[in-house]
A and B are shown apart, each in its own frame.
Chain A
Amino acid sequence: MGQKNSKIQITETDKAVLQLKRSKDEIHRFTKRTDILIASEKEQIKRLIKNNPTTYKQNTKIRLLLKRVHYQEHLLQQASDQLINLENMLVNIEFKLIESQFLTGLKKGNDILTKLNKEFTNIDEVISDAQEQMAYQNEINDALANSVVGVNNFEDEIDKELDNLGHEINPPSKLDMPTTEGLPAFEYDKEANITKPDIVAEKQKEERIQLPS
């Protein structure tokens, strides 16, 4: 696709790790070989002892073999120790790499935080600016509202005109309708079997008749 493959970098740390691992491999190889050697020599010793049941203790060959086996086992032990050292070293290196990555991450995060915080100091100015503008706008609004003279007088005149219009459109009735003020509460007359409104209506009829014309 025309993309150039980005080369994977081999760092100095990688080279150091390679050296350590190669040493580990060599020790491992040595250990395997020696293990096999010790096993076969032990077999040899056993066989010789079997073939010389009476004289084996004095047999120089057997004694030599046994000494060799001991020496090799001693070497194996040393190799083991070295292997452990190498492994520890490798683990330490690995851990240090992780720690340094952690530090770089922290630093970068810090840088970004400071950058963002800078933007916030600007925002303070922006906010106070906006508030000023709003207050100014309100002032303008008020000034405009009060700039026209005598606007209050108009309110009273408009009220009067509306009243006149209202009276024209909805004329008040000429009949004096009796009000229910001062009348007793609602009663039910059982005997006469009429409700109070009827009783009241009766009373009202009387009163009306008594009204002079």
Chain B
Amino acid sequence: MTVHLELPAIYQFPPLFTRQPNKSIRNKQIETWINIILTNCEQCKIWTITKQGDMKIIDPDTQQVTTFNIFHNTEIDRSCSPIFINEIWQMMQKQGQLLNRDGKDLKISTDSDELQTDEEFYILWKSLELWANEILDWFERTTQLNKVVTFYEIVSSEDNFNESFYSMPEPLLYQILKILVKRGRATMLKENSKYVAIKVI
């Protein structure tokens, strides 16, 4: 089973990669980009993206890793400018579709040359709240209430292969489960000062 990208026809359209001067057109353009990013991440279960737009696709069978940059279309030899990429990130963060690795607010500078670290973001094609609901639903469906379940079990167990959260990175899972704790429905367990498991009631 190989996963591949679903790139719409407009992805082959050079102007998509050029930041449009007209504001309303640019907004539409950013919307299109966000759509492309979210759809493909959801399709191929890509959870992280670098600040420059690099993504990794892992073949589930062979575990082979393919890296590519979404903002760079080699076929038409076009890429988005860093300024434009930043604008896309800003919009995504505003809409709650991007998350910093430690859950804090991203500091996206509008300064074009500031691509300091190889920062990685989590892509949220579902909002954190929605994820929390889905995972809570899984807990109830599989009658795992009142039991200790490790993070690894939730996202890496073969039993959950068909679940929407399968292969999610554990730090992201932690951010989502924090919501359940806040709701008063769960408490997390530590091991060696790191949170590794959760008990949901």
Q: What is the interface of chain A, defined by CB distance below 8 A to chain B?
A: 5-8, 10, 14-15, 17-18, 21-22, 24-25, 28-29, 36, 94
Contact = CB atoms under 8 A, between A and B. Distances in A.
B63 A36 contact: yes
Interface in B115-165: 147-150, 152-153, 156-157
A198 to B, nearest CB: 102
Given A8-B187, A28-B156, A18 B197 contact: yes
B77 interface: no
A5 B184 contact: yes
A6 B187 CA distance: 11
Contacts of A21: 148-150, 153, 197
B60 to A, nearest CB: 11
B191 interface: yes
Contacts of B152: 25, 28-29
Interface of B: 63, 147-150, 152-153, 156-157, 184, 186-187, 189, 191, 196-197, 199, 201
B148 A14 contact: yes
B160 to A, nearest CB: 12
A18 B186 contact: no
Given A21-B149, A21-B150, A25-B153, A14 B199 contact: yes
B189 A10 contact: yes
25 contacts: A6-B184, A8-B199, A10-B199, A14-B148, A14-B189, A14-B199, A17-B147, A17-B148, A18-B148, A18-B189, A18-B191, A18-B196, A18-B197, A21-B153, A22-B191, A22-B197, A24-B153, A25-B150, A25-B152, A25-B156, A28-B152, A28-B157, A29-B152, A29-B156, A36-B63
A167 B189 CA distance: 108
Given A14-B148, A25-B153, A8 B197 contact: no
A36 B58 CA distance: 13
Given A5-B184, A7-B187, A28-B157, A18 B201 contact: no
Nearest to B197: A18
Contacts of B149: 21
Nearest to B63: A36
A126 to B, nearest CB: 45
A18 B197 CA distance: 7
Nearest to A9: B187
Nearest to B187: A8
Contacts of B147: 17, 94
B144 to A, nearest CB: 11
Contacts of A24: 153
Q: Which 8 A-B pairs have the closest CB atoms?
A: A25-B152, A8-B187, A5-B184, A17-B148, A21-B150, A14-B148, A18-B148, A18-B197
